[in-house]
């Protein structure tokens, strides 16, 4: 198929390589692309894996349901059950490879007339449903709600702070001169978009690009489409090279390389404590320069010596650290 119909192969079977291939460089830092079970030993001790944190007891129920569906197929093959089981197995494998595919781990519901279904209900059915809700559904939901509502302190991801900052930026910085709701044509390959003279960029990490666009109505230098990250073997100018720059002069050279209409590529920089103290190594990983930012030292701890990791001068010299 690959030889006879290369385009069809690339759009179908070839896509599985994207899911299961190993990640390197900056790709290692993409949380949603990490596997549900990152190492083989997690199959035996997986309590700290994304699978356990996301699904808790429901994961075991799903596996038991798949086994039961297989048993039902052996006794009485039905197209609906076959489709459900095949779909479940496929989604399980790609979800194990990249946890983002958990969004698609959905099951088809059996469509039956509600009036007919109610006729067969017995008291033990109701009791069984209540037990399932109390034991398997409520605890995971409660954990998710509490975790989602926690702000996380000074180095949290800063949802509230980002909204407040971008709302301020939208009303207190110059308009870049582009209609937020306008329609724009992509420039030819290799050419820059002809921005108006009033346009400017907002430098930040690519995770926050859509936040800058949506809440701030401003143009980010990098966004979750992985545009503008830079770095790599050639240390291409972008967010990673700017935020890890070891001097103001080096950072300015990055902005000059991103220039628009003869002006530096960014007029403002948006950053928070989470970027500086929690995910700064990620920037260096994308720039393929994640060496020398930390060192280990021995410190006394209750009469014994303990190894701790501390930042080095290289860490403090980065533009991201200097901003804080």
Chain-wide mean pLDDT for the chain?
80
In a domain, 215, yes or no: yes
**Both structure tokens of 239:** 């967010």
The tens digit of pLDDT for each residue in 189-248 reads 888 899 999 999 999 999 999 999 999 999 999 999 989 999 998 999 999 999 999 999
Tell me, what's the pLDDT at 254?
96
Is there a single domain that holds both residue 49 and residue 159? no
Based on the fold, state whether residues 83 and 181 are members of the same structural domain. no
**Residue 67, C-beta contacts closer than 8 angstroms, at least 6 positions apart:** none
Q: Is 64 or 153 the better-scoring residue by pLDDT? A: 64
Q: Is residue 146 in a domain?
A: no
Q: State the DSSP H helix or E strand holding residue 233, giving kind and residue range, or none if neither.
A: none
Beta strands in the chain (DSSP E): 201-203, 219-220, 266-269, 294-301, 304-311
Closest by Cα among 206, 208, 184 to 196: 184
Q: What is the pLDDT confidence band of residue 154, given thresholds at 50, 70 and 90? A: very low
DSSP string for 31-60:
GGGS-SS-SGGGGTS-TTSHHHHHHTHHHH
| Residue 305 is assigned to a structural domain of this protein | no
Place of tokens 């489409």: 225
Averaged pLDDT for residues 288-308 = 90
CATH number of 195's domain: 3.40.50.12610
Q: What average pLDDT does this structure show over 312-324?
A: 94
113/260 Cα distance (integer angstroms)? 62
Which of 111, 145, 168 is the C-terminal boundary of a domain? 111
Q: Is residue 312 part of a domain?
A: no
Residue 179 falls within a domain, yes or no? yes
Please give the tally of structural domains in the chain: 2
Q: What order do you get walking across the sheet with 266-269 strand by strand?
A: 219-220, 201-203, 266-269
Q: What is the mean pLDDT of residues 133-159?
A: 56
Per residue in 97-124, pLDDT (tens digit) is: 777 777 665 544 445 556 665 666 778 7
Q: Which residue has the higher pLDDT, 70 or 25?
A: 70
Q: Collapsing DSSP states into helix, strand and coil, what is residue 122?
A: coil
**Using CB atoms within 10 A of its CB, is residue 52 exposed (0-12), middle (13-18) or buried (19+)?**
middle
Domain coverage including residue 41: 6-111
- The answer to the question of residue 18 being in a domain is yes
DSSP string, 278-314: TSHHHHHHHTT--SSSEEEEEEEETTEEEEEEEE-HH
pLDDT of residue 108: 43
Same domain, 238 and 163: yes
- Average pLDDT over every residue of 239-267: 95
Residue-level pLDDT at 54: 67
- Between 7 and 307, the higher pLDDT residue: 307
List Cβ neighbours of 10 (8 Å cut-off, separation of 6 or more): none
Distance CA 78, CA 72 (A): 9
> Is the same domain home to 184 and 243?
yes
Same domain, yes or no, for 180 and 103?
A: no
84 and 190, same domain (yes or no): no
Residue 150 covered by a domain? no
Residues 92 and 194 reside in one and the same domain: no
Least confident among 92-101, 122-131, 177-186: 92-101
Among 116-125, 145-154, 277-286, which range has the highest average pLDDT?
Answer: 277-286
The pLDDT confidence band at residue 182, using thresholds 50, 70 and 90, is very high
Cβ neighbours for 126, distance < 8 A, ≥ 6 positions apart: none
**Same domain assignment for residues 170 and 229:** yes
């Amino acid at each position: 198929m690959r030889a006879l119909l290369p385009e069809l192969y690339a759009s179908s079977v070839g896509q599985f390589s994207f899911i299961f291939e190993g990640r390197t460089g900056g790709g290692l830092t993409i949380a949603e692309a990490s596997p549900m079970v990152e190492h083989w030993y997690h199959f035996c001790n997986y309590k700290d894996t994304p699978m356990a944190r996301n699904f808790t007891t429901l994961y075991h129920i799903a596996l038991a349901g798949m086994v039961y569906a297989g048993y039902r197929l052996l006794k009485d093959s039905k197209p609906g059950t076959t489709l459900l089981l095949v779909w479940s197995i496929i989604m399980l494998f790609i979800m194990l490879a990249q946890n983002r595919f958990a969004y698609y781990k959905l099951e088809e519901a059996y469509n039956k007339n509600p009036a007919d279904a109610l006729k067969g209900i017995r008291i033990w059915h109701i009791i069984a449903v209540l037990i399932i809700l109390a034991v398997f559904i409520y605890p995971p939901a409660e954990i998710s709600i509490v975790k989602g509502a926690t702000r996380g302190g000074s180095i949290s991801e800063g949802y509230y702070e980002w909204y407040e900052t971008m709302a301020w930026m939208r009303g207190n910085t110059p308009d870049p001169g582009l209609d937020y709701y306008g329609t724009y044509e992509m420039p030819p390959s290799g050419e820059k978009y002809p921005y108006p003279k009033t346009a400017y960029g907002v430098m930040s990490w690519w995770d926050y690009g859509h936040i800058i666009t949506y809440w701030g109505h401003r143009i980010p230098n990098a966004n979750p489409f992985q545009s503008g990250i830079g770095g790599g073997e050639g240390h291409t100018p972008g967010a990673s090279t700017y935020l890890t720059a070891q001097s103001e002069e080096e950072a300015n050279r990055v902005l000059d390389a991103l220039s628009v209409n003869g002006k530096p590529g960014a007029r403002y920089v948006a950053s928070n404590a989470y970027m500086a103290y929690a995910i700064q190594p990620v920037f260096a990983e994308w720039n393929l320069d994640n060496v020398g930012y930390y060192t280990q030292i021995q410190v006394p701890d209750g009469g014994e010596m303990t190894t701790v990791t501390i930042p080095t001068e290289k860490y403090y010299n980065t533009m991201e650290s200097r901003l804080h």
